[in-house]
A and B are shown apart, each in its own frame.
Chain A
Amino acid sequence: MLETISLWLASTFSEDVAMWFDYFTNGKHLTWYASVRFTLIAAIAGAALAVLFGLIGASARRSVFPPFRWLGWGYITIVRGVPDVLIILFFPLAFEQAIEWIMAQRACTATELASGSWPPCADAQWYLSTTEYLVMACVSLGLVYGAFAANVVHGAMEAVPKAQLEAAKAYGFTRRQIFWRFHIRQMWIYALPGLSNAWMLLLKATSFLSLLQIADIVLWAERLGAPNFFARAGMVHPDWRWRYYFVLFLFYILMTILSEKFFAYLESRASRGMRLNTAPASS
């Protein structure tokens, strides 16, 4: 099909147009376009996990049982205190080692275990594929931005007017009903601006996937833009990397614009039937 379009372009416009069309639809470029899926999967799955970890973190933070409260506080503080890229690199490495350690206990002999090298023996080596790295990237993104979300949710839970909950109590709702039907429901409108902000950070952090050996859009941009001196390998061109990175720059800006639109819609939906005398605090 691509060849037909190329021939049609050559006959209708010029050879030049067809040449550029061929260049932008060659195998490498098609792979580049397809690799957007890693970014999108990581962003969406990471965000879903972040909301989950956020709710867990916020509940721990608000728990009546002090050790849970300290755990929640520690989680939020530590993740906030170190760069996101550190945790995104650390978690997959640590998880891989933990699994390899368990494998080593079974597969390796005692002398190999005592040797101090890693992994102790060849059987305990866990080779990770892109899928496994992607899953771990999603979990790490979830862990990092879950802490941000936990803080937002914690603040939003506090922001729900006490009178609303008291009214629910006066009507005879049980504690659980008040929590799920009033507190959580009304929390969203206060949490959405902060969650939108955390989503933007998460979206931008999806550019780190190449650090986990995933052939994502960033890695392909580098490969495609690298100078090519051999006509056999396709179009001969100098260093075009900055052009490809510029495309990614625009891609992320476009994603930000779309996200803003989406969150504006969500906010208008979540505030249906609510009269807010003060606009929810945006950070």
Chain B
Amino acid sequence: MSELFSAFLGSAFVNDIVIMAKPALFNIYFALASLPLGFPIAVGLALMKNSSSKILSGIARIYIYAFRGSPLFIQFFMFYSLLLAFNLSHWKPLGIDHIVMHPLFIGPLVLVLNTSAYVAEIFYGALRAVPHTELEAAKAMGMSRIQSFRSVVWPNMIRLAWPAYTNEMIFLFHATALVYFTLPVINEQKDLMNKAGELFERDYNVFLHFSVAGLYFLVISLFIFFLAGRVQKRLNRHLMPDVQEALTLKPNYLR
């Protein structure tokens, strides 16, 4: 039994899992760096899209449509080459070129631009679904617009948007796989896809390396799902148990 166990520990599979632990951190970094930044921008965009001002809602509409309607892959290429084109003329004289041109900066930058459009659409949908009766009740109580936003609109929006937001978090994590297909790889700063490709070029074992990379994505996605489920429970803690049951998080398949 112990021999079998040590054979398993020494196997190429376990070896790959160990090798890919560090690359996985890069994917996690990209997701963690862009989610908290994307969230407030998305809230702002959703409020803009929902505003009565034609100009504000028009800007938000165009932004959201453009970033949801084009591939992230192209967005990466576009912003990277855009920043590169201004490198000699702008970033170098300012002495910020090593920050601006760093993949660990550009990666989250483009991911934030992309995910904020998707999340804004989710929040916009939730804003539209906030129960009218509750808004009217807030008005009848004499609440100001800010007060009713804080006590009625905001909590309802978050609660309604949470399942879709969970889905988007997982999609964003998957999107981090694209970062190093477009941005330069510096030394050992490699993500899962990169590492899998590098290991593949060494021994052509496509099944092993890509499965382990896939396993990392799968497990981390499940972990995000689990955490989001806990948050969902907390958000709905005021509801009856049977209603809570009906609202448990189910995986959604579309972005």
Residue of A nearest to B251 (CB): A80
A248 to B181, CA, bound (A): 17
A85 to B73, CA, bound (A): 10
- Chain B positions 207 through 218: 1 when the CB is less than 8 Å from some CB of chain A, otherwise 0: 100100110011
B36 adjacent to chain A (CB < 8 Å) = no
- B74: contacting residue among A94, A147, A225, A248, CB under 8 A: A248
Q: Point out the residues of chain B lying under 8 angstroms from A198, CB to CB.
A: 254
Number of interface residues, chain A, beta carbon within 8 A: 49
B85 adjacent to chain A (CB < 8 Å) = yes
Determine whether the beta carbon of A239 is less than 8 Å from that of B177: no
- Report if A90-B210 is in contact (Cβ < 8 Å); known contacts: A81-B218, A204-B70, A253-B66: yes
Determine whether the beta carbon of A256 is less than 8 Å from that of B70: yes
Residue of B nearest to A117 (CB): B204
Determine whether the beta carbon of A194 is less than 8 Å from that of B204: no
Determine whether the beta carbon of A205 is less than 8 Å from that of B71: yes
Among A84, A206, A218, A245, residue most surrounded by chain B Cβ atoms (within 10 Å) = A245
Determine whether the beta carbon of A86 is less than 8 Å from that of B78: no
- Report if A225-B254 is in contact (Cβ < 8 Å); known contacts: A86-B193, A218-B73, A249-B66: no
B253 adjacent to chain A (CB < 8 Å) = yes
B17 adjacent to chain A (CB < 8 Å) = no
Number of interface residues, chain B, beta carbon within 8 A: 42
- Chain B positions 70 through 105: 1 when the CB is less than 8 Å from some CB of chain A, otherwise 0: 111111011101101100000000000000000000
B252 adjacent to chain A (CB < 8 Å) = yes
A208 to B251, CA, bound (A): 25
Which residues of A does B touch, CB under 8 Å?
76-78, 80-86, 89-90, 93-94, 97, 118, 147-148, 151-152, 194, 197-198, 200-201, 204-208, 211, 218, 221-222, 225, 238-242, 245-246, 248-249, 252-253, 256-257, 283
Which residues of B does A touch, CB under 8 Å?
65-66, 68-75, 77-79, 81-82, 84-85, 174-175, 177-178, 181, 193, 196-197, 200, 203-204, 206-207, 210, 213-214, 217-218, 221-222, 251-255
What are the nearest 5 A-B pairs in CB distance? A256-B69, A83-B174, A241-B81, A245-B78, A81-B218
